[in-house]
């Protein structure tokens, strides 16, 4: 697992072998202010629920679909945290791929309106954390958005 972690994040972009992917990440907040993280099955680190925005979907629709698929929860989007595109830490190589992906993520905040918490095949574990007790091994792509959210920043563009 450690080898996967080292090779997945922080790859150098090779313009001929790097694709762009626009996705959505969701800071799901429970009724007492804790943030939902998923321990990802592809790298063993904690990340935000989310994923690719599919053709024909709005950002909000993609957020609702991804959270439902990955956590079993229904959400209502409450805020735009930001749009994150800086290459440092956002160029990844997924296991088995022969190309890198430069991730551009729209990060939203949302509240839970229904459903029941359950892991998907993409998650090893789901857990709520207070802002003071965040896991140490957060995927690099989620670090800045989570810090911005905790600091009360919104509509960040980076």
- Write out the catalytic residue numbers: 125
Distance of alpha carbon 141 from alpha carbon 146, whole angstroms? 10
How far apart CA 149 and CA 82 sit, in angstroms, is: 9
CA distance linking residue 136 with residue 2, whole number of Å: 15
* Spatial separation of the C-alpha atoms in residues 12 and 66, rounded to whole Å: 28
């Amino acid at each position: 697992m450690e080898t996967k972690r080292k090779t997945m994040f922080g790859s150098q972009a090779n313009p001929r072998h790097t694709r762009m992917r626009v996705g959505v990440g969701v800071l799901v907040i429970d009724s007492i202010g804790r943030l939902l993280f998923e321990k990802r099955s592809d790298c063993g680190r904690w990340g935000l629920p989310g994923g690719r925005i599919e053709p024909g979907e709005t950002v909000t629709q993609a957020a609702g679909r991804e959270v439902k698929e990955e956590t079993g929860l229904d959400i209502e989007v409450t805020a735009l945290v930001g749009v994150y595109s800086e290459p440092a830490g956002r160029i990844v190589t997924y296991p088995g791929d022969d190309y890198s992906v430069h991730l551009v993520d729209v990060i939203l905040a949302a509240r839970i309106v229904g459903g029941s918490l359950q892991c998907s095949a993409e998650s090893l574990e789901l857990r709520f954390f207070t802002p003071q007790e965040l896991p140490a091994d957060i995927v690099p792509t989620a670090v800045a958005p989570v810090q911005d959210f905790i600091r009360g920043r919104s509509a960040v563009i980076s």
